[in-house]
Structure 1
Amino acid sequence: MCLVKQGFKRLHYPIEVILVCLRWYLAYSLSLRNLEEMRQERGIDVDHSTIHRWVLRLTPKLARVARKKRKIHGGTWYLDETYIRIKGKWHYLYRAVEASGETIDFVLSQKRNKKSALRFLRKAIHQNTYPMGVNIDKSGANRAALMSLNQGELGIKIRQCRYKNNIVEQDHRFIKKRYRAMLGFKTYRTAKVLLEGIETLHMLHKQQIPINGQVIRPVDAFYALVT
């Protein structure tokens, strides 16, 4: 069944209109009012608040479908966190990529400490597999979390080489660019949902979510996931 039909019992707009708004908002540096104006130019009168409701309702479903299809990564991970402002307060988005830049996993956290890093690592391992090694910056919290995992005899090699973490720091830029266009987040829940959507579209752009075993264009992969 179409993802949109799963998310809404009564549709007052064509499915194609809803899906285009969802993809454009998560993939490009557009505000909700930008989308409202763009739709009006095509003769479609839809309020920006309605688009926002579509995005919040459908994004978790899109991310759940994509998560089941994405590639699994072991090897070496590059772990870092970046700042995200929510209602005037700084939060932290933990992210990890592998050597070619493909996203391994991500977690939004209210704090940056050992407990948060450990929660991220456990989630990433559960969604993927055990890494051979993890490269981090000089963060003591991240190192402490990895050492805690190694007490269970996982044997993950810990490397602290800042310049090698450029790969994940560069990857942060796409997320930050899209986040700024949204003019910040008002609630933790909204931030969590929208960041999950941004990360999912970013993974589609990097062609790391195969469809029926094949790598296809990002736009085609998106519609294959939601229809």
Structure 2
Amino acid sequence: MQTLKINDKRHRFPSQIIAHVVWLYVRFNLSLREVDELILERGMDVSFETIRRWTVKFAPLIAHFLRRRPPCPGAVWYLDEVVVKNAGRSYRFWRTVDQHGVVLEEILQSRLDKRAAKRLLVKLMKRWGVVPKRIITEKLRSCGVAKREEAPGLDHWSHEGPNNRAENSHLPLRKRERMMQGF
């Protein structure tokens, strides 16, 4: 994960304090003088005009950083695949969704085997840098074998019912496919 770098050159306070003061002013509905009082309670004497200048200078940088940072995925991942035909050939469209409904990864593969499931799982863990607490899949054996090889301590549920979150994320694709009468 990236960390925000504020250039505190020619400033009396370190960048962590500047970032915290700007965050207080922007995040909460406080006036400059109220933020000044909060910082004074922590033993730092900063004028409200200095806080205003910091906000004008650093708030766009902080906002840009926060917009670029990807959201942290949830602890439960739903894996699902759908058969899609393109130019007469069948492909498997894999989609991974976390517990909040955020699409983590989409992969189009020509096979439905252990190697394909393993590739998806490795790509997911490498991209997000975390191993989920649990994955929920349909009753595909390839997902279970890939999970055993790549993440043996991972909890794996293999059911038809609880995978609705991933199934529902395929609906826009199916709707578009229906309108186009195939790809």
Looking at structure 1, the residues matched to 180 and 121 of structure 2 have their Cα atoms a distance apart, in angstroms, of: 28
- Which of 126, 146, 162 does residue 160 from structure 2 map onto? 162
Following TM superposition, by how much is the alpha carbon of 1:121 offset from its aligned partner in structure 2, in angstroms?
A: 0.9
How much has 1:178 moved relative to structure 2?
Answer: 2.3
Partner SS state of residue 95, structure 1: strand
Query: Which residue number corresponds to residue 147 of structure 1?
Result: 148
SS in 1 for 2:125: helix
Whichever structure has more helix as a proportion of its residues is 1
Choose 1 or 2 for highest CA Rg. 2
Q: How much does 1:179 deviate?
A: 3.4
TM-score by length of 1: 0.47
State the AA in 2 paired with 1:114. K
Q: Map residues 35-184 of structure 1 onto 2, 5 A cutoff.
A: 69-128=69-128, 129-151=130-152, 155-184=153-182
Given that 1:72 and 1:127 are in contact with CA atoms closer than 8 Å, whether structure 2 keeps it comes out as no
Contact 1:106 1:124 in 2 (8 A): no
Identity of aligned residues (%): 26
> Which string of whole-angstrom CA distances, capped at 9 and with x for unpartnered residues, describes residues 27-55 of structure 1?
xxxxxxxxxxxxxxxxxxxxxxxxxxxxx
The TM-score with structure 2 as length reference comes to: 0.58
What's the offset of the Cα at 1:157?
0.8
Structure with more relative contact order (C-alpha pairs < 8 Å, separation 6 or more) = 1
Find the residue that maps to 2:170 and give its secondary structure: helix
Three-state SS of the structure 2 residue aligned to 1:85 is strand
Deviation at 1:83, TM superposition (A): 1.1
Alpha-carbon distance between aligned partners in 1 of 2:121 and 2:84, rounded to the nearest angstrom: 19
Where structure 1 has 5 or more consecutive residues not aligned to the other structure, the ranges are 1-67, 186-227
Aligned residues of 2:74 and 2:99 also touching (Cα < 8 A): no
- Post-superposition offset of 1:99: 1.6
What per-residue deviation string (whole Å, max 9, x for no partner) do you get for residues 148-170 of structure 1? 1135xxx1111112210011111
SS at 1:72's partner residue? coil
Deviations 1:147-201 (A, max 9, x none): 11135xxx1111112210011111111122123434434xxxxxxxxxxxxxxxx
User: Does the 8 Å CA contact 1:74/1:130 hold for their aligned counterparts?
Assistant: no
**Distance apart, 1:69 and its partner CA:** 4.5
Deviation string 1:46-74 (CA, Å, 9 cap, x unpaired) is: xxxxxxxxxxxxxxxxxxxxxx6532314
Cα RMSD (Å): 1.7
How many residues are matched? 115
Q: 1:9 matched to which residue of 2?
A: none
Q: Kindly provide the CA deviation profile for residues 3-31 of structure 1, in whole angstroms up to 9, marking residues without a partner as x.
A: xxxxxxxxxxxxxxxxxxxxxxxxxxxxx
How far apart in 1 are the matches of 2:72 and 2:137? 20
Superposed structure 1 runs of 4+ greater than 4 Å apart: none
Equivalent residue number for residue 3 of structure 2: none
Residue 91 of structure 1 contacts residue 110 of structure 1 at CA under 8 Å; is this kept in 2?
yes
* Alpha-carbon distance in 1 for matches of 2:112, 2:102: 23
- Gap change, CA 1:157 and 1:69, over 3 Å in 2: same
